[in-house]
Amino acid sequence: MADTPASSSGSFSDGSIVDDVHQIKGLALASVQTHVIETFGQAEWDALMKLLPPRTSGMFEDVDTGDWYPETEMRRVVHALYQHLAQDDDERFMALMRGVATVGINRFFGMILTITTGRFVLRNIPAFWRRVRRGPAVLHTETDAAGRVLVHYSDFRYCRDRIYRLVSLANCEAAAYAATKRLPKGEVAKWDRYSMTLAFTLTDD
């Protein structure tokens, strides 16, 4: 499937926070909190928290950056970010999520990424993924005939969510930018309910 500009997100059941097989490290949640407060202020963060269910907002009262949390909760957060702070604007949201990703990168990978290239970083997205996420999802990369770096995701239920596809693009772009200070040209090349391929075109590293 090709991406469309509609803001539809796919359907998910509101399951228990303990039964999500996809999990994300608390570092990612803490990065959201840090970036929003530093960029928009405490009042905007407090307003954002009021949009979320108590079990979701409650996680931010004492986030353990090394612990694991259900990906479902992160999904609720990014949808609130898209609607409240990005005001349903894709470009604004992408910039916001690149900022969030940069906070996490600086905490976890900063020194590594300053001594490499954007192409190398994108080829190693699966390794970075395994540091901050766990579950059945599998990522692999390749370079196509046109020289684009392709990042393939499989067995990841959030591929059906358009907002989450934007998050994935922003995360990869932020990682490449950390190495080169240049944004690659990225796009969702294809997707279905459980898989997707992101394609990135880079200038010379």
pLDDT digits (tens, 9 = 90+) for 72-100: 999 999 999 999 999 999 999 999 999 99
Q: Hey, which bits of 30-89 come out as E strands?
A: 68-70
Q: Please report, as a single letter, which amino acid is at residue 168.
A: S
pLDDT digits (tens, 9 = 90+) for 173-199: 999 998 888 999 999 999 999 999 999
Whether 165 and 89 have beta carbons less than 8 Å apart is answered as: no
Domain residue spans of the chain: 23-201
The architecture (CATH level 2) of 23-201 comes to Alpha-Beta Complex (3.90)
Query: What pTM did the predictor assign?
Result: 0.88
